[in-house]
A and B are shown apart, each in its own frame.
Chain A
């Protein structure tokens, strides 16, 4: 996924109505009328949101039948959440490393490392 595509995915996800639409579609494909029901919103307004989702590749819309079923496309979502997972892991793992480092310090092993060195090998 290119940065531009990821950008479009995130922009699509940054709206609560669109997230609610995706949540509903995760239960199965359905029509625009069905999707519009929970919202106090006109059909054209809902269609606008669907257009953003479709452009981002998060949903696809069938052409058969008059009701053009909307379907969730999982690939882009998985990629976007991959990035959020990465961010989350960063914090989780930094705590793990601090834990480990504190244990070592208190066990005396780390004491040598914090003395000033003449040569800095940390490049």
Chain B
């Protein structure tokens, strides 16, 4: 395997992409919504799609959330999150990847140089009856090129998220003033 193809690069911990959101609900409920397949089927899929009935979630190390999405263009796209460490209701770690109906690991057809596997850690912290949910994402088992592209795309993603948080804060203020 040539050096360019060596897949042992990963995002440095200090360069991880982080998303934080405060949700107006107790931690136990947020944890359940994020780890129970019956809840996930209600909200996980983007608007205009649904998670298919064959989707499953096994909450244990090496278990996975395996989901298919019926896309508007008629395609069925599969994804998976393979769990590593789990400590309910505080955090869980999992490896994200595009998948197929047989739980294989695949690439997104439109982005051949995106890392195949992304390590994600989600933490849940309760504060004043609300839950702070933080997700960090890092490329793992990637070529240098894939890792560099993932890291480079964070700035544009982080900018987008700050705007979203502002909008969310404004919306909360509006809702709570009623």
**A-to-B contact residues, CB < 8 Å:** 3-4, 6-7, 10-11, 13-16, 19, 81, 83-85, 87-95, 97-103, 105-106, 110, 113-114, 116, 120, 122-123
A97 touches B44 (CB 8 A): yes
Number of interface residues of B (CB under 8 A): 41
B156: chain A residues within 8 A (beta carbon)? 81, 84-85, 88
A88: chain B residues within 8 A (beta carbon)? 153, 156-157, 160-161
A10: chain B residues within 8 A (beta carbon)? 111-114, 145, 149
B149: chain A residues within 8 A (beta carbon)? 10, 13-14
Answer yes or no: B1 CB below 8 A from chain A CBs. Answer: no
A14 touches B152 (CB 8 A): yes
B152 touches A13 (CB 8 A): yes
B53 touches A94 (CB 8 A): no
B25 touches A11 (CB 8 A): no
A106 touches B25 (CB 8 A): yes
Answer yes or no: B24 CB below 8 A from chain A CBs. Answer: yes
A3 touches B33 (CB 8 A): no
Q: Which of B19-60 touch A at CB < 8 Å? A: 19, 21, 23-25, 29-30, 33-34, 38-39, 41-44, 46-47, 50-53
Answer yes or no: B8 CB below 8 A from chain A CBs. Answer: no
**Nearest-CB distance from B6 to chain A (Å)?**
15
Answer yes or no: B148 CB below 8 A from chain A CBs. Answer: yes
B42: chain A residues within 8 A (beta carbon)? 101, 110, 113-114
11 residue pairs from A and B, CB less than 8 Å apart: A14-B144, A16-B148, A83-B111, A85-B156, A85-B160, A87-B114, A87-B153, A93-B47, A98-B30, A122-B53, A123-B53
CA distance A90 to B111 in the complex (A): 15
**Nearest-CB distance from B51 to chain A (Å)?**
7
CA distance A4 to B111 in the complex (A): 9
Answer yes or no: B109 CB below 8 A from chain A CBs. Answer: yes
Most buried by A among B19, B111, B114, B135: B111
A92 touches B111 (CB 8 A): no
Answer yes or no: B170 CB below 8 A from chain A CBs. Answer: no
Answer yes or no: B110 CB below 8 A from chain A CBs. Answer: yes
B46 touches A100 (CB 8 A): no
Q: Which listed residue, B44, B53, B160, touches A120 by the CB 8 Å rule?
A: B53
Answer yes or no: B10 CB below 8 A from chain A CBs. Answer: no
Smallest Cβ-Cβ distance to B146: which chain A residue: A14
B23 touches A102 (CB 8 A): yes
Smallest Cβ-Cβ distance to A114: which chain B residue: B38
B113 touches A100 (CB 8 A): no
